[in-house]
Amino acid sequence: APSVPASVLSVVPVMPVVVAHRVEDAVQIARALVAGGLPAIELTLRTPVALDAMRAIADEVPEILLGAGTVLTPGHAKQALDAGARFLVSPGATPSLLAGMADTGLPFLPGTATVSEVLICLEAGITEMKFFPAEVSGGAPYLKAIASPVPEARFCPTGGVTPANAPTYLALPNVGCVGGTWLTPPALVEQQDWDGITALARAAVSLAEA
């Protein structure tokens, strides 16, 4: 079985969140991200082809760390595991969803937006989580404010994160990486401009290094 990282937040500074409408697009996007220095992908379970796309990426681009996003139920978690996912991301954190994701044995980032949700995750032994939807939930100032009372929790803020605000998040001690869809604009995918996606990935890596 492919290896699973101890820390999902420490693999890439920017986690590409991808909504794929065609299997072949998903494979090309995965290749383009790897070429640009981002060997990880959160492929969302939001389209009918998502699970097939995960299987294709697992087969054809094994060097990318493949994650499933938009995991809403324990059933989704199991389907993603079977399709080759190596980590899971959810937008929320209900007790049954946390249990279902834990049952897969994969690392996972539950979605949180309040201190109580963060504490529910910490009580379950989960210290890495998604902060979603980041910008409208208080953004970087919110994460900064909770770093002192709950320093054990580390986040991947996602939702409204852009190249302009990503550095502010990445500078926080409780942020491991940020997530966003800006690496795969629908227009570039439509034009099959995979080099354009590689360029956006490169830019994301260098903004994180700056």
Residues in contact with ligand 3PG by the rule CB under 6 A: 17, 44, 69, 132, 158-161, 179-181
Q: Which of 42, 117, 128, 135 is catalytic?
A: 42
| Three-state helix/strand/coil letters over 27-67 | HHHHHHHHHCCCCEEEEECCCCCHHHHHHHHHHHCCCCEEE
What's phi and psi for 138, nearest 5 deg?
A: 125, -15
Provide, rounded to whole angstroms, the least separation between the CB of residue 132 and ligand 3PG. 6
Q: Which of 24, 60, 123, 130 is catalytic?
A: 130
- 138 Cβ neighbours under 8 A, 6+ residues apart: 145
DSSP 5: -
Toward ligand 3PG, which CB reaches closer, 84 or 179?
A: 179
d(CA 130, CA 93): 10
User: Does the annotation count 130 as an active-site position?
Assistant: yes
d(CA 165, CA 139): 9
Toward ligand 3PG, which CB reaches closer, 21 or 60?
A: 21
Evaluate whether 168 touches 195 at the Cβ level (below 8 Å): no
Provide, rounded to whole angstroms, the least separation between the CB of residue 134 and ligand 3PG. 8
User: Which of 135, 134, 67, 131 lies closest to 101, judged by CA?
Assistant: 67
Provide, rounded to whole angstroms, the least separation between the CB of residue 130 and ligand 3PG. 7
Provide, rounded to whole angstroms, the least separation between the CB of residue 181 and ligand 3PG. 4
Q: What is the Cα gyration radius of the chain?
A: 16
Toward ligand 3PG, which CB reaches closer, 34 or 156?
A: 156
d(CA 3, CA 147): 30
User: Does the annotation count 63 as an active-site position?
Assistant: no
Provide, rounded to whole angstroms, the least separation between the CB of residue 26 and ligand 3PG. 16
Toward ligand 3PG, which CB reaches closer, 94 or 181?
A: 181
Toward ligand 3PG, which CB reaches closer, 60 or 88?
A: 88
- Residues belonging to the active site: 42, 130
